[in-house]
Chain A
Amino acid sequence: MAGALHRMATEIVERNQGTDGLVIVGIQRRGVELAERVAALIEAAEGTTLPRGKLDITLYRDDLQTIGPRPIVNETRLPAALDGASVIIVDDVLYTGRTARAALDEVADFGRPRRVWLCVLVDRGGRELPIQADIVGSTVALDTRDRVEVMVTEVDGLDAVDVIRAANGEAR
Chain B
Amino acid sequence: MRPLLLRGGRVIDPSRGADDVADVLIVDGKIAAVGRGIPTPDGAIERPCAGQVIAPGLIDLHVHFREPGQEETETISTGAMAAAAGGFTAVCAMPNTDPVTDNQAAVGFVVRQAIRAAKARVYPIGAVSIGQRGEQLAEFGELVGAGAVAVSDDGLPVISSHLMRTALEYAKTFGVPVADHCEDPTLAHGAMHEGLVSTRLGLKGIPSAAEEIMVARDIILSELTGGHVHLCHMSTRGSVDLIRRAKEKGLRVTAEATPHHFALTHERCEGYDTNAKMNPPLREVADRDAIRSALQDGTIDVIASDHAPHHYDAKERAFSEAPNGIVGLETAFGIGMRELVEPGLLSLPNLIERMSTMPARIFHLPGGTLAVGAPADVVVLDPEVRWTVEASQFNSKSANSPFLGEELIGRAELTLVDGRPVFERAK
Direct A–B contact present (CB less than 8 angstroms):
no
